[in-house]
Amino acid sequence: MTLRGRLTAAFLVVVLGPVLLGAFFVGSTVVAVDRSRSAERLAVAAAAVRTSVDALCQQLRAAADAVALTGDRPAAAAQVVSRGLAAAILLTDVAGQTTYATPDAPPAPWRDCAAGGGAPGPVGALAVRVDLRDRSGASLGTVAAAQPVDPAFVARLAAVTGVAVTLLDGPGAPVRLRHTTESTGVRDAVLAAAGALDGERVAGTSDGRYVRRVGPSAGQPLPLVLSVPSDRPPGLYVALVAAVLLAGLLAVAAAGRLARVTTRPLVELAGAVDRVARGDLTARVPVRTRDEIGRLAGAFNRMTRETGTYVTALTSSRDQLRGHLAVLGDTLASTHDRQRILRVILHSAIAATGARAGAVLLVDTGGALVAQCTEGLDDPGPTDERPGPHRVPLGTGPVGAVAVTGEPRRGRVEPGEMAPGEPPCRTYVAVPFAAPAPADGPEATGRGDGPEPAVGALGVLALYDRLGGDEFDDDDLITLRTFAGHAAVAVDNVRVHEEAQRLSLTDPLTGLWNYRYLRESIRREVERASRFGRMLSVLALDLDRFKAVNDTHGHTAGDTVLAEFARRVRGEIREVDLAFRQGGEEFVLLLPETDARGAAIVAERLGAAVRDTPITVDAHGGTLAIRVTVSIGIAVFPGHAGSGQQVLDAADEALYAAKAGGRDTWRLADLPRAAPPVREIPVPVHAVSPSDGLPRAGAHRRPAPADVVPADADEVDAGTAPALPGSSHPASGGGASSGPHPPRQSRGR
């Protein structure tokens, strides 16, 4: 098969294949969507029918009960009928004989609302029967309240459900029509489809309608058929077939023309390639067009002219390039040190091109290119004309223009062309490189008032003054592009590595630190508190009855509640405080330089922040405001425990106490029964204990002797302070703090 034939066949397959698949997909999708929407509509209508019939039965039962409970039953029956609560009231004695009936009663038979599977035969009315009994409990007969099942009743059901409703004579076969809101032309098709249905499945009719049977069943004793017309556009399949045929004709015509135009220059190119293969480097291909084939012919002609030169140059530099690429590959694979990787890339680029010097510059947040590593450049030092060593404003000089335009440049430096911050040189070559980076990271594009870098621009790899040559050529530009690509990959790999480290320590839902980082952080904070003699408060938080939120509104709503709770927690703590999600709805806060009083203030604020404002979630097809509360346990190092795990356990025990105390509160952990011996510290005469007896950061007081009773509650030692009651809600103030972290009072706690 010739190339022209293969191109024609391939074009037809490529064009007609998607057309056929698209036509089939459109047809099947329209049918599936139509059936699904109709089934959903019929399901909603069936629910509405059951609700309407159940409401009618409840009304009839209320009417019968009202008549049964009154002394003058005929008068009560007439009043019930006059008010429209029932169409007729029938009183019977224990023998089943009618003792009273209101006028204009519906025709028999009356179908009882409590009927299960339904009895065969037509239905004249829906009825509810209530037993009449005397005071001793003996049966006196029954009271029946009825509502006629007539065309008006069926029409009301159709109006409520929004679909066509048909009432059958009975639940069994053959299916016979009694009342319907369907048009005359489709009744037979609806009845035929309803007769073939088993249960409440949905079936289609021959004229494009969908049918579903509803009842009879307990609470809905009427044998009903619901039907809706199809929304499928008419003539869909005819239009699809016509579109496929038209696309096929156009594809055949286009394929023939394309094959003829394409194969002619390819035949000429094949002949020239054969001549070059035999060693004739003078072979040329005529260039007739400017399309891809024309550019291919031009590239082939240039290739034949330059092949000899390239063979010699490539042979001499092959071993050298292999060595540099091996070093570069090893560096990229073995380290995430960006500076080291960029130095290796720059050194390899200089060695491959024979340049005198070079630099790798990255765009910083100030809107300038800053050299990250250099080689062979002298540091000029800042002057009035130079912003600084190797700092180039965007849009100035050759390197700044490359960053703004995104186009590589090479050439000879003209007088005054180099921008301040660029090294003095005679020739240069500069290539931009880009890699994904966070918008606010150090590699982000500039945000100054000057020129903006090109979309995706991250930095520039620039070389200066080629040794042993006049200036850099296209080969050097291509080589430099390769090394610039390595630089982009290196920067992006470092970013990805740092991001992976961050993600391994954070919770993806709330953005808080995870349990793994909690273990590391509490160990570090306990060591710091021990080293500087400070306090560390630990808060264990647990959302109250959070399982009910998931069970009632779904896990999506629960995730929304957790994310919003985490946001509110972050808004109530300092920058030095650490928030963790321990798992599920359990959270932990580490408050450095914070005593029990400050932790209690934080707990009060967190409880108010959660309690006072409901959390809005999307649930059950709408927006719902969920009120949640939080229980908090507080423990302080070193007052309540001597290690990180112990203080965590003490906070958990306090949390359990808060849960047991009614939730939506906080509790301070109980002090250990046998406190470790402490070194006595002299207390200045003017020192005064706080009035609430809570321990303070940095407050170390001498324990009172066992045989001495303090004269006042203010004399209680910090190590023996009573647990804070969870019901206490201080309105302001906070524990005294000192040390390298800002005090708690700076946030008004």
Domain with residue 733: its CATH number is 3.30.70.270
pLDDT at 430 over 70: yes
Residue 220 in any domain: the answer is no
Same-domain check for residues 432 and 557: no
Same-domain check for residues 519 and 459: no
Same-domain check for residues 636 and 734: yes
Which residues lie closer than 8 Å to 275 by C-beta, 6 or more apart?
283
Residue 74 in any domain: the answer is no
| Boundary (domain end) residue, out of 503, 530, 553 | 503
Residue 229 in any domain: the answer is no
Same-domain check for residues 285 and 360: no
Same-domain check for residues 347 and 451: yes
pLDDT band at 318 (very low <50, low <70, confident <90, very high): low
Same-domain check for residues 497 and 521: no
The phi, psi pair for 429, rounded to 5°, reads -145, 135
Task: Look at residue 252 in the predicted model and tell me its pLDDT.
Answer: 80
With CA atoms as reference, report the closest residue to 647 among 604, 597, 586, 596.
596
pLDDT at 149 over 80: yes
Same-domain check for residues 639 and 700: yes
Same-domain check for residues 582 and 669: yes
| Boundary (domain end) residue, out of 503, 536, 561 | 503
- Report the pLDDT averaged over residues 81-107: 84
- Report the pLDDT averaged over residues 692-717: 40
Q: Which residue has the higher pLDDT, 436 or 269?
A: 269
Q: What is the pTM of this model?
A: 0.37
Same-domain check for residues 482 and 604: no
Same-domain check for residues 423 and 499: yes
Same-domain check for residues 658 and 628: yes
CATH number of the structural domain spanning residue 383: 3.30.450.40
pLDDT band at 722 (very low <50, low <70, confident <90, very high): very low
Same-domain check for residues 614 and 659: yes
For 489, the domain range is 335-503
Residue 218 in any domain: the answer is no
pLDDT at 726 over 50: no
For the chain, the domain total comes to: 3
Sheet holding 110-112, edge to edge: 98-101, 88-92, 139-148, 125-133, 110-112
Residue 671 in any domain: the answer is yes
Task: Look at residue 405 in the predicted model and tell me its pLDDT.
Answer: 84
Residue 240 in any domain: the answer is yes
pLDDT band at 531 (very low <50, low <70, confident <90, very high): very high
Residue 16 in any domain: the answer is no
With CA atoms as reference, report the closest residue to 586 among 572, 569, 602.
569
The phi, psi pair for 651, rounded to 5°, reads -65, -40
Residue 600 in any domain: the answer is yes
Task: Look at residue 665 in the predicted model and tell me its pLDDT.
Answer: 94
pLDDT band at 31 (very low <50, low <70, confident <90, very high): confident
Crossing angle, helix 596-611 and helix 555-571, to 10 degrees? Answer: 140
- Report the pLDDT averaged over residues 459-485: 82
pLDDT at 58 over 70: yes
Number of C-beta neighbours around residue 691 at 10 A? 9
CATH number of the structural domain spanning residue 276: 1.10.8.500
Task: Look at residue 54 in the predicted model and tell me its pLDDT.
Answer: 85
Question: Measured between alpha carbons, how far is residue 219 from residues 41, 147, 175, 224, 385 in Å?
Answer: 22, 15, 22, 13, 93
